[in-house]
Structure 1
Amino acid sequence: MADNPNIPSKVIRNDPWFGSYAKRAEGMRASEIRALFAVANRPEVVSLAGGMPYLGRMPFDELADQVADMLRKQGQVAWQYGSAQGDPHLREDVLQIMELEGIKDAQPDDVVIVNGSQSGIDLITRVMCDPGDVILAEAPNYVGALGVFQSFQVDVVNVAMDGDGLIPEVLEQTIIEQRKAGKQVKMLYTVPNFHNPAGATMSRERRPKVIEIAKKYHVLIVEDNPYGLLAFDGQTYPALRSYDSEGIVYMSSFSKIIAPGMRVAWMVAPPGIRQKLVLANESAILCPSNMSQMTITTYLDNFDWKSQINDYRGMYKERCDAMDEALKEYLPYCSWLKPKGGFYIWLKIPDGLNAKDMLPRAITAKVAYVSGTAFYDDGQGADHMRLSFCYPTPERIREGVRRLSTVIDNEFDTVRLFEPEVGTGTRKERG
């Protein structure tokens, strides 16, 4: 084989194509979250890992009847090819949803339907970025976005956040530093509401400041907002897109407010970018699924979706409260920000412990979480773990945190045997 110039010299026995892959494939890696699913979904394991919405309260029996009626009347449309921009009826419907967050100037033609937010992140990166370009993002980062950015060989530069979200002054300083280094800063990717994984929400005061900084340096803002309607107190924060229509690509999804299995999300973009997104969507998938889109419109047209979302808010608040109380009882020496909505708590564990190393022992104890390392591309995050409260019942959440506490307690005590100074002053013993 080595004598044949048409066959790469770098091959491995179980993959004869190893030396033939594109350079961008070298950056691909398995998500730590996806790798957990096979184990975390076992019934004996309390999974605090995956961000799966709880669908037990959806009106599936009634929806099945409505979808059946839709198929009888419009089956030849639902099962046919559609437009790369998406179904016009659905593009009209999403305007009602965005109005709740202050976006009142969008038109149906501004909307592009995509196959879930993940596809939307892929499309905007494909349209805007070349290898070596810089994307700014909050640290920690949404793991799905990190995977996309790595595949397009862009440099992800972290911008610090706190309990009020992205810090504007740090954003501006980071842009200046990157430009001085000769880098092309193309986009700011932000999850402003109930951040995944940090749980923080960008304050109302910071939102216009972030927009002004991005505008000043001609940096496109990509606003990823899947959780915006899931505030526990029922309020909605103004979308960044409600402040500015020219410098922001807004993206949201039905995955958290209806169901992820439909794989339907949408983007709103300025005209030039929107046209590129439609072409990129057509190139990638030809067209989003008519069946999925028409199922969503059937639901929106025939059910009180606002009341359903309000029910979700109450349910997720109850589960968040259950996790917060369990953490106070079982892990008082850890620290966390209690979120105002969404699905996640970002738990800081005692100094000297490593969430990634500890995960196998947690699985043995029949509890699962996501190590903070999944949300960075440079090895950071071992001092944090993401806990999801969206799917388990409050009782299961409490039991999961109890199991987790035994793992962390044992790990802490083992480390202290060999390094007595580890965690000094960070752990409050339970009485």
Structure 2
Amino acid sequence: MSSLEPSRRDTRLDSYIDQYADRTASMTVSAVRALFSVANRPEVVSLAGGMPNIADLPLKDLGASFDQLIQTKGIQAMQYGSGQGELFMREHIVDVMAEEAVHANADDVVITCGSQQALDLVTRIFVNPGDVVLCEAPSYVGALGTFNAYQADIHHVAMDEHGLIPSAIRDAVTALRAAGKHVKFLYTIPNFNNPTGITQPVERRKEILAVAQELSLLIVEDNPYGLLTIEGEPLPALRSMDPGVIYLGSFSKTFAPGFRIGWVLAPHAVRERLVIAQEAAVLSPPVFSQFAIANYLENFDWRAQIVNFREMYRARRDATLQGLADHMPPTATWTHPTGGFFVWLTLPEGLDSQALLARAVNERVAYVPGNAFYADGFGSRNMRLSYCFPTPERIYEGTRRLGKVIRDELEMRETFGLPATDTPHTPVIGPAPDLS
């Protein structure tokens, strides 16, 4: 080689690869976010994202009310605020939680940038790398991402049609502790679980709390959907039965997600550490958003608005269940949610939801593959269908398109005599409803 020729220099796409913290190796792109660019195309019926339908809000009246807010309280509303959140907002949150029998003091509430940040703060103050977090099987993909980001060891606990199985919690904790593991908390969504739509009945909640007390196990209750029941009245929260439960709430589903206001209700000592962590992260939660939501709660009939949301989501849930009954092959099964946003579909044996996704998008329908909701590779035969955003007519059409994809795949496998796949999957959670 001539001395005048430049020496070879290998390049990498990311020149900072050797400088990142170890924890970044656990960070992955959300399967739901990854679908947004495709699912948001107008020709695609998106049964993927969990975006609430806020079109029924009184937008014109809200605009006038917010204009008045700026004129009368703009200086305070657009200034820095308390790291814990403004007292008036925390007092309103106490009133909202009372709808599910939670009796709390505003001093024990910490306002956050959505309940996602609440989950981040709780994980930050409790979890060291390698510590165990117990989650439902399956569990919320955003929670799994947070736990992974803090290098937690995620262990799933089995569910049935009534939610977490108490004996499975006991068995898991006992085995993990015997192996020298530090089990930090159990994370659960008791109302209309994301992604399954399953709700824990009151007696099951009591059993779970009894096991947690027996094991000295902390419970983190995530409850964004509790007021959005469409069959019966809201159930009492786990926190209403045990003041040691850490409770996460949000206005994203019962008002509007764009304001990014959630909260943590925690025992006093935990509250102190959450405030310190909050101040280190963002100084203070969004002050204008707190003023805006407080203005809404004070000047609008928010309880009546939630009733309207319930009826609107009921029509969408019913369209989903009817569409599945009309278009799915007989060996597919699904859950029957009594509120919230989601249905959990189990495919016939031999099918893989991740492998079917490209074909489904080509047929102009989108969903989230089930393995996104597991930390251990399970869920290949499952998919989450979200009914919160499209109209009932679009949802029904979406189930028709999805049914065609599934039936075509079954027909192709039968034609070529393909064997069932042996990829891990979950058992069916709950029977398909009888809509006859």
TM-score range, shorter chain: over 0.9
Cα distance in 2, alignment partners of residues 141 and 358 from structure 1: 21
**Partner residue in 2 for 1:60:** 59
Which among 261, 275, 279 is matched to residue 278 of structure 1?
A: 275
Cα distance in 2, alignment partners of residues 168 and 235 from structure 1: 24
Task: State the 1:416 CA deviation.
Answer: 2.3
Q: How many residue pairs align between the two structures? A: 413
**Partner residue in 2 for 1:92:** 91
Cα distance in 2, alignment partners of residues 123 and 382 from structure 1: 31
Distance 1:421 1:19, change over 3 A: closer
Q: Confirm whether residue 116 of structure 1 aligns to residue 129 of structure 2.
A: no
**Partner residue in 1 for 2:75:** 76
8 A Cα contact 1:91 1:112, kept in partner: yes
Which among 297, 300, 314 is matched to residue 300 of structure 1?
A: 297
- 5 Å matches for 1:12-411? 13-104=12-103, 106-245=104-243, 247-333=244-330, 334-411=332-409
Q: Secondary structure at the match of 1:19?
A: coil
Cα distance in 1, alignment partners of residues 336 and 219 from structure 2: 26
Q: Per-residue displacement from partner, 1:17-46 (whole Å, max 9, x unpaired)?
A: 111111100011101110100010010000
Q: Which runs of 5+ in 1 are unaligned?
A: 1-10, 427-431
Q: Secondary structure at the match of 1:20?
A: coil
Distance 1:300 1:12, change over 3 A: farther
Cα distance in 2, alignment partners of residues 292 and 239 from structure 1: 26
Q: Secondary structure at the match of 1:158?
A: strand
Distance 1:400 1:25, change over 3 A: same
Cα distance in 1, alignment partners of residues 183 and 210 from structure 2: 16
Q: Per-residue displacement from partner, 1:82-141 (whole Å, max 9, x unpaired)?
A: 00100111100011111111112x111011000011101100000011011000110001
Q: Which runs of 5+ in 2 are unaligned?
A: 1-9, 422-427, 429-436
8 A Cα contact 1:234 1:313, kept in partner: no
Q: Per-residue displacement from partner, 1:121-169 (whole Å, max 9, x unpaired)?
A: 1000000110110001100010000000000001111000111111111
8 A Cα contact 2:342 2:386, kept in partner: yes
**Aligned-CA RMSD value:** 1.4
The two structures have a TM-score, normalised by structure 1, of 0.94
Distance 1:153 1:421, change over 3 A: closer
Cα distance in 2, alignment partners of residues 258 and 234 from structure 1: 21
Cα distance in 1, alignment partners of residues 277 and 167 from structure 2: 34
State which drifts further: 288-297 or 204-213: 204-213
8 A Cα contact 2:45 2:395, kept in partner: yes
Task: State the 1:420 CA deviation.
Answer: 5.2
Task: State the 1:233 CA deviation.
Answer: 2.5
Task: State the 1:258 CA deviation.
Answer: 0.4
Cα distance in 2, alignment partners of residues 230 and 133 from structure 1: 33
Residue identity matched to 1:52: M
Q: Secondary structure at the match of 2:209?
A: helix
Cα distance in 2, alignment partners of residues 419 and 249 from structure 1: 52
Residue identity matched to 1:369: Y
Cα distance in 2, alignment partners of residues 159 and 15 from structure 1: 37
Task: State the 1:332 CA deviation.
Answer: 4.2
8 A Cα contact 1:135 1:185, kept in partner: yes
Cα distance in 1, alignment partners of residues 420 and 28 from structure 2: 32
Cα distance in 1, alignment partners of residues 411 and 27 from structure 2: 37
The two structures have a TM-score, normalised by structure 2, of 0.93
Distance 1:275 1:43, change over 3 A: same
State which drifts further: 256-265 or 229-238: 229-238
Task: State the 1:209 CA deviation.
Answer: 1.6
Cα distance in 2, alignment partners of residues 418 and 264 from structure 1: 53
Residue identity matched to 1:239: A
8 A Cα contact 2:166 2:211, kept in partner: yes
**Partner residue in 2 for 1:5:** none
Distance 1:351 1:15, change over 3 A: same
Q: Secondary structure at the match of 1:18?
A: coil
Task: State the 1:415 CA deviation.
Answer: 2.0
Residue identity matched to 1:51: G
Cα distance in 1, alignment partners of residues 258 and 70 from structure 2: 18
Task: State the 1:213 CA deviation.
Answer: 1.4
8 A Cα contact 1:80 1:290, kept in partner: yes
Task: State the 1:293 CA deviation.
Answer: 0.8
Residue identity matched to 1:358: L
Distance 1:421 1:39, change over 3 A: closer
Task: State the 1:303 CA deviation.
Answer: 0.3
Cα distance in 1, alignment partners of residues 205 and 417 from structure 2: 44
Task: State the 1:422 CA deviation.
Answer: 4.0
Cα distance in 1, alignment partners of residues 188 and 19 from structure 2: 35
